[in-house]
Amino acid sequence: MTTPPKTMRWNGGPDGWLTMIDQTLLPTEFKEINCKTVEEVWEAIKMLRVRGAPAIGCAAAYGVIIGMQQKIDASSIRDEFDRRLKEVTEYLATSRPTAVNLFWALDRMQDVSLENPSLSPQEMHQRLLEEAMAIEEEDRAMCAAIGQHGAKLIEKGTSILTHCNAGGLATAGDGTALAVMFAAAAQGKEIQVYADETRPLLQGARLTTWELQQRDIPVTLICDSMAGQVMKEKRIQAVITGADRIAANGDACNKIGTYSVALLAKAHNIPFYVAAPSSTFDLSLATGDEIPIEERQPEEITNGMGKQTAPESTRVYNPAFDVTPAELISAIITEHGIIQPVTTEQVRSQIEKT
Ligand SMILES: CSC[C@H]1O[C@H](OP(=O)(O)O)[C@H](O)[C@@H]1O
């Protein structure tokens, strides 16, 4: 088993820069890129060089540090600093609309300013970096806790289907859904995984298989359209996915195709689990109907991975996410434990106390 590389890392102090794996090149090329402007961080999030709800939050937090570098010198005044901080956080918030972790992280960076009115710009810059590092470290711990709680649900010899990539590459730690698999495997439960390729950007084929192979966990790649057949053939005993935003009633938004997998799991009486940290919950939304769904460029479908597979000017609809209603979710696994049954009362009871 090889030690997995870190999804991202900060270099230096407040005047430093962010290094991250460019996930668009995996699995055929492992390349790290350096982001030294806030625009480069914005573009990396937009283009999924860094992706996955928790990882997006961490990257955005570090993007704030970079964005503030232009305005810090001995003559800086705090009002100007705060105006720039608002400008930078609002800019980064436009990169992608669905993963609530992006907005949760940016709000935390703004809160640093509200909670420290008397710090100088230089002191604030240092304090913001400490907050970004805390967000990264907390995410790492949340992943580990999710893994341990989720592994309790996994029997020895279980075959698990997953959709998209909710692994270490989607977080600052071991992932969410994949953290459960890593923990179960480490406990000797001899699991195997079926990974949906996850069109159109193939996070499952490119990233989930790559991560599982690194950990010597048996993985079988299937087309998204094969999920029902493998369930019908009784090859699957559990489904685990990640999430990008979970509403107060437990409706979970995740990569497009997850809702279909949840319906298939229900039809085949297979437990469907969602693994996500508390930072992925948006209790301001009563249900998943209100979750903004990102629509991405048609070329991701008509020219997937650079090869044209549809006629020019073909009309395309490309929603990047869908919402699985709570009634299709057997349990939600968080760093605090298991939410089951998945109801507003259970969600609020666990998440509001955090
Ligand atoms: C641990 S969150 C992972 C989550 O994010 C992915 O979306 P994207 O690759 O577009 O950032 C997908 O929904 C995963 O389940």
DSSP string, 293-340: PPB--THHHHTGGG---S-TT-----BSEEEE-GGG-SEEEETTEEE-
244 is annotated as an active-site residue: yes
Give the separation between CA 250 and CA 237, rounded to whole angstroms.
22
Between the CA of 53 and the centroid of ligand 1 the distance, in Å, is 6
Residue 4 confidence (pLDDT): 79
Q: Is the CB of 198 under 6 A from ligand 1?
A: no
Cα dihedral 184/188/192/197 (nearest 10):
40
**Which ligand 1 atom sits nearest the alpha carbon of residue 276?**
1
Q: Is the CB of 245 under 6 A from ligand 1?
A: no
Which sign, positive or negative, has the C-alpha torsion 251, 255, 261, 265? negative
Residue 76 confidence (pLDDT): 80
Q: Which of 174, 224, 244, 251 is catalytic?
A: 244
Residue 1 confidence (pLDDT): 62
Give the separation between CA 266 and CA 329, rounded to whole angstroms.
9
What is the CATH code of the structural domain delimited by 152-351?
A: 3.40.50.10470
Give the separation between CA 167 and CA 179, rounded to whole angstroms.
7
Reported as half-sphere exposure (CB side, CA atoms, 13 A), residue 56 has a value of 28
For 148-175, give the DSSP string.
Answer: HHHHTTPPTT-EEEE-S--BGGGSSSSB
**126 annotated ligand binder:** no
Residue segments in the chain with a per-residue pLDDT below the cut of 50: none
Residue 72 confidence (pLDDT): 67
Residue extents of the structural domains in the chain: 8-143, 152-351
Q: Is the CB of 255 under 6 A from ligand 1?
A: yes
Residue 353 confidence (pLDDT): 78
**306 annotated ligand binder:** no
Per the CB < 8 A criterion, the answer to whether 160 and 239 are in contact is yes
Question: Are both 8-143 and 152-351 of the same fold?
Answer: no
Which sign, positive or negative, has the C-alpha torsion 146, 149, 154, 156? positive
Residue 96 confidence (pLDDT): 98
Give the separation between CA 59 and CA 202, rounded to whole angstroms.
22
Site to probe by mutation for ligand 1, drawn from 22, 48, 244 as the one with most ligand atoms within 8 Å of Cβ, is 244
What is the CATH code of the structural domain delimited by 8-143?
A: 1.20.120.420
**Which ligand 1 atom sits nearest the alpha carbon of residue 242?**
15
- Give me Rg for the CA atoms of the chain: 20
CA distances from 41 to 129, 318, 321, 338 (A): 15, 24, 22, 34
**Nearest CA owner, ligand 1 atom 8:** 52
Q: Can you give the pTM of this predicted structure?
A: 0.97
Residue 160 confidence (pLDDT): 99
ipTM: 0.99
